[in-house]
Structure 1
Amino acid sequence: MPELQESWVDDPNELARRDSRDTLRALATAGAQMREGLTFAAEAPLERLGDERPRSILVAAAGSSQIVGDVLRVLAESSSSVPVAGRTNVPLPGFVGPLDLVIAVSLSGRAPGPLAIATEAARRGAALLSVGADDSPLADVTRQARGVHIGIGRGRDSSRTSVWSLLTPVLVAAGRLGVVDLPEEALQEASRALDTKAEECRPSSESFVNPAKLAAATLAPTVPMALGDGPLMGVAAARASAVLARTARVPATYGVLPDHASQVVACFDGPFTAGGGQGTSSPRIDDIFADPFLDGPAQPRLGLLMLRDAPAAEPTPSSALADAVAAEADEAGCKVVESVAAQAHPLARLAGQLAMVDYIATYLAIGTGIDPSVSPHVANLRDRTRGR
């Protein structure tokens, strides 16, 4: 596995050359995206969605936009009885009807799945909210159904770096309907958390103090797993798995405590950590005499990215389990990176962790010689499937 080249992530000229579409700059606008989204939502005729809670909410989103449904679901679970489900494409579940709300999200407004779901939801008479480009088929479908379409700002060309342009209007609408408990101050606090993370992880902050660069350097030579210490951080872990694959081109699994503790810890007995799969509790010892030209490259170690919620005043079973997993990982020779959320409203805590994993994946890509925004194989796949 490659080592992260510090000069590639610290030198401004190298960053500009290796990050061809300014991914880092786009990520740094997250707080501004959120504030702009609040403005757009305030100007939208949300009263058309009614004044009562819907029976259920279905979020139609594909690819990187699926994070919208994940965030809404985890916030709604703790504050209301309205179930939130997600779909990427038709068929629309049979239960969806006039008492339900369908939210369709697509940056371009042309994603086939969300567009098809919005069309079917309109036919069934469900309330319809969409977020995406103003001049798009999705906006047209929503307006024809007398739903609410909320546009996005200019310069948004990737859903991976425009999460908060898509998510913020959805959160405002859900708050207005009483599905989530999100006062104005909570939304502003989240935007400040995004600004803080952008400052901490800015490109001009050198590798020895930048938390995202440090984490990327630790994870670079590993096969990584992301682990959230509860449902809220589980959303960040799922996001980490997605962006490590899509941005850094690293296949990464993820899990959520307590359910996935055993399957994560079981990997510590495998070929990437303890004794090369010998079932021993002793950490793997690399052969210092190995010749990478004669013996081949060294086998990568397992990496564990632990995304932890803000610590409670008193220890909890969840925090104790997370501590135990981290200790076991360390003893097994697994490289461990911990990112701990700051004390704040749940949305702000989650916002900071989502921003962190985005920065980690981006620096990991750049530092190992990968352009984070350009994938030849993804482009080839689109060419092969165009028109099908």
Structure 2
Amino acid sequence: MARAARPLLIAEPSRYAGRSARQARRLLAALALVLLIALLSGGSGAATGSLIEITNAGVVEAMRHGSDYYAASLQAARSADAPSRLLFTFPLPTLAVLQAAIGQVAAALLLYALAMLTLFAWWQRLRSAIPRPSVRAIAVVLAAAGMINALLGEFVAVHDLWAGLLLSLSLAARTPRHWITAAALGFMAAMIRETAALYLGLMLVVALLEGHKREAAGWAIVMAVFAAAVAVHLQAIAAVMGPLGDPQSADWAGAAGFGFALHAIAASTALSLLPSGVAALLVALAIAGWSAWRNPLATRVLATTLAFVLVLTFWSGPGRAHWAFLIAPLVPIGLIFVPDALRDLARAALDRRRITVTRTAA
């Protein structure tokens, strides 16, 4: 085994330091294959943000003029010729009620404040992993790249954008002793975008695996309360839709593919300014980078990111590319761990030391 070298950017050697040559070569080969797929993947994962924004903004505007949320949502979906799917056409009314109450300008400012708070939380949380302020500043810039739409005030009415920031803040705030805040933020994210409930389940599983029984119970309670809220929400939808409802399109038209998932994430960040192949490659590299940090937080971020990548890969499509906003604030940060990971893997893979056995006279 190769001995761990002094870290380049992070405080401690990466998870890949000291690996055997065989392990390192296999990991590098797997990474090279993933990066090649990412580079060659075609298509676009750009979210249909215009339709989502127009539909949600129309609902909020109707509510400001006294309309009921569910009636306004149904009318907006019909006007946009969108299929009436229960939790896709009718997200929980949390965000719409908030925006209708405070106004568009205040909502944009609140979204910006949430993004800035999330950036500050990551600056603080990465202090132990990245002690040098200059390097940590780069990590925060990478985080900002994942929040670019929030910082620029775009897609204010898109639920996934708000939920993604709350998920990122939840992870940054979570510690073994302070998990209640993380659970509350995760609950808020799920109450804005139901797809974020996957995060609640993941945190429950990870807490159990790590032996944090009280935390696991807390996440279970949060999931139960969320399920109750969804049950009430579905009853309200049924009331406005009537017994027959509207004609509905197929709920799933096949897997969109891994390339689509990477492009959707890239399109949700500042990486969209780069050529599509390069942007997808950097997304794949950033996700892999999270695996290099020896910290339970990195395990939770990696689990969250991979879970939503799988959702985008196998149960998504152009009409749901906006789900990528849920992990967009997390993914680019992983690039800060890549230099140490690659250096440690390359050093281990090139290690040619042999153990020589000699006989001595008795």
With normalisation by structure 2, the TM-score equals: 0.27
The structure, 1 or 2, with the larger RCO (C-alpha pairs under 8 Å, 6+ apart) is: 2
With normalisation by structure 1, the TM-score equals: 0.26
